[in-house]
């Protein structure tokens, strides 16, 4: 159901991205939800797994739209990022290759949607994703510091010091859970129109 050429291109891209990202950012960087979804999407395509594909789509379908809007806005504003999410895309200290590879954010939600379209949407997938996603947030909090702020576990964009970091983490988990549930509902409605729910 997933063409061989697509799997080959996806695998080749990830094979280039992993060492480049590791050298530039270190392994903790792979805890970003977008990177998790990129890797998970590859596995879902390779093994034709509706559940895994559905989990990855729930994980980032709405969240990635923030990255996309910020990047497109920055192009219109000549490099000024409206939301500050993609500031690193204009950082000359980050290698050009890594910044070019990061453009995968522009297509990731649509690639995942296409994979789910091909395999069908597993309407129960959002439940295990909430558990996995919460675990990733907690792990990120334990492994990354405020200087990295992976998945914004230390503050919205920048580290915050207005409330306890543990309270912020709890708020973030609740907010992400809400976004994931909403994403699930929207996907279910969309896929339901085309009988693509499994």
> Which residues is 197 bridged to in the sheet?
121
> Which tokens hold the place of 169?
């983490």
* Other Cβ atoms closer than 10 A to 110: 12
Mean pLDDT of the chain: 94
pLDDT band at 1 (very low <50, low <70, confident <90, very high): confident
Q: Residue 49 carries which DSSP code?
A: -
Percent of the chain with pLDDT over 90: 87
> Which residues is 121 bridged to in the sheet?
197
User: Half-sphere exposure (CA, 13 Å, Cβ side) for 145?
Assistant: 1
Contacts of 114 by beta carbon, 8 Å cutoff, 6+ apart: none
pTM (2 d.p.): 0.93
């Amino acid at each position: 159901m997933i063409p061989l050429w697509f799997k080959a291109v996806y695998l080749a891209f990830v094979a280039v991205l992993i060492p480049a990202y590791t050298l530039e950012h270190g392994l903790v960087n792979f805890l970003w939800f977008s990177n998790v979804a990129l890797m998970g999407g590859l596995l879902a395509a390779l093994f034709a797994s509706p559940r895994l594909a559905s989990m990855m789509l729930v994980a980032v379908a709405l969240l990635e739209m923030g990255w996309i809007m910020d990047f497109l806005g920055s192009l219109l504003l000549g490099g000024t990022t409206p939301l500050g999410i993609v500031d690193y895309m204009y950082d000359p200290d980050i290698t050009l290759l890594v910044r070019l590879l990061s453009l995968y954010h522009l297509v990731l939600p649509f690639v995942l949607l296409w994979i789910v379209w091909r395999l069908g949407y597993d309407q129960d997938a959002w439940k295990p994703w909430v558990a996995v996603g919460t675990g990733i947030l907690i792990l990120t909090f334990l492994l990354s510091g405020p200087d990295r702020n992976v998945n914004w576990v230390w503050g919205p964009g920048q580290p915050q010091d207005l409330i306890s970091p543990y309270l912020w983490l709890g708020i973030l988990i609740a907010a992400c859970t809400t976004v994931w549930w909403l994403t699930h509902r929207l996907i279910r409605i969309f896929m339901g129109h085309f009988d693509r729910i499994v």
